[in-house]
Amino acid sequence: MNTLTNKIPELLCPAGDLTRLKAAVDYGADAVYLAGEEFGMRTAASNFGIEDLKEGVKYAHDHGVKVHLACNTIPHNEEIPRLPSFLEQVNDIGVDAIISADLGTIGMVKKYAPNAELHVSVQSGICNYETANAFYNLGAKRVVLARELSLKEIAEIRAKTPKELEIEAFAHGAMCVSFSARCLLSSYMTGRDANRGDCAQPCRWSYSLMEEKRPGQLFDITETDKGTYILNANDLCMAEHLDKMRDAGVDSIKIEGRAKSHYYVAVTTNAYRGALDSLKNADGDWTCPTWVTEELNKISHRNYSQGFFFGRPENAQTYANAGYVRDYSVAAIVDGYEDGKIIATLKNKFLKGQEFDCLEPRQKPFIVKADTVFDEKDNEIESAPHPMMTIKIPFEREVKKGSLLRMKAD
């Protein structure tokens, strides 16, 4: 067990919009992180206008979940005059923490959002205890450590910083090929500034080589026994090692993915909630439940690795295939349960007799077989071909609203 504390880390989950915030809350997040329409690092996410932010904070707080707002871009001069009013608004709405990286922004957070905790972003590249202590002395309640650190280095930072300073670390999701996501490629190649939230992700494009004196003649990039390290980071997955993260002193484990889908948020939140609850109840050595790792293979992902947590990685890139694994899709979303039937809204067509993998909030997945299917008027149907149509499937017990009926991709 952890010698520092018996408590398990906080589960911090992404919320790209209000729908995904509610999914994260329903499926077991302790806290969510999101951004407003400006100053956040993911412009590809829908993000939150002021009214949506008010609703999201209320929904989260009503369910005992904290809200962390990302204000972690590196702003330019013309953006600075807009920051004070933005920070005052989010302070009044009641966000629990503001995540920042830029020193000037950090000072403004302390001035204009005094009710919110200051969390220092991964964008600050915190790799040692002196930097962590410096931010603590500037008023930080939490630091988000650089992704390039090992568990041993994290443990040393924990040992040499005040116990009041919380440590957060990414445990799951996409890995940037640039140091702590400080990417210059996007600006150079597309004019889209990654450090202001507009990364075009050129590290995930497909590339060929062209020799200078043979224009137009393209060569495939292939792996040799020496390796081929070409812009192709694997995804991070530490689900099987949450005990080691806890024992290293990590207070909050973070799931990457504010630009990812509602389905991704639901699955990853539910899986890590299950893993952490299992860890909390473990007596002695802990093993991650098999169903958790199976779940994490049901979302779109690249090959998984453990990043830098166990030292310099040997399997952090995939050379032969830059694509994603996509084995499952959502067939329907459950709206309720009535008269012994699951009522759901169709997302993808299916046939009577098909078997679904049902993901219910805070539960292990289970099978629902559609031996009989009805439309919204209780007419029995052979297939459900039209997206957004209402379907009814007899089932022996109630299934919670918001549950997902999944099917294996063809």
Domain range list for the chain: 10-178+233-305, 328-408
**In one letter, which amino acid is 318?**
T
Rounded to the nearest angstrom, the gap between the alpha carbon of residue 96 and the centroid of all alpha carbons in its chain is: 19
Cross-strand bridge partners of residue 304: 235
The predicted structure's pLDDT at residue 61: 98
Cβ neighbors of 47 (< 8 A, separation 6 or more) are 16, 17, 34, 35, 36, 37, 40
The phi and psi torsions of 378 (rounded to 5 degrees) equal 70, 25
Q: Both tokens of residue 393? A: 């499937």
The CATH homologous superfamily for domain 328-408 is Translation factors (2.40.30.10)
For residue 33, give Cα distances in angstroms to 121, 341, 346, 371: 12, 35, 29, 40
Q: What is the pLDDT of residues 138-153, one digit of tens each?
A: 999 999 999 989 999 9
The predicted structure's pLDDT at residue 3: 42
The predicted structure's pLDDT at residue 139: 97
pTM as predicted:
0.84
The predicted structure's pLDDT at residue 135: 98
The predicted structure's pLDDT at residue 43: 57
Regions of the chain with pLDDT less than 50? 1-5, 179, 224-230, 319-320
Q: What is the pLDDT of residues 45-91, one digit of tens each?
A: 568 999 999 999 999 999 999 999 999 888 999 999 999 999 999 99
The predicted structure's pLDDT at residue 301: 87
In whole angstroms, what is the distance from residue 291 CA to residue 281 CA?
16
The predicted structure's pLDDT at residue 337: 97
* CATH class of the domain at 10-178+233-305: alpha beta
DSSP 78-123: GGGGGHHHHHHHHHHHT-SEEEE-SHHHHHHHHHH-TTSEEEE-GG
The predicted structure's pLDDT at residue 6: 57
Hey, what's the torsion of the CAs at 246, 23, 264, 407, to 10 degrees? 120
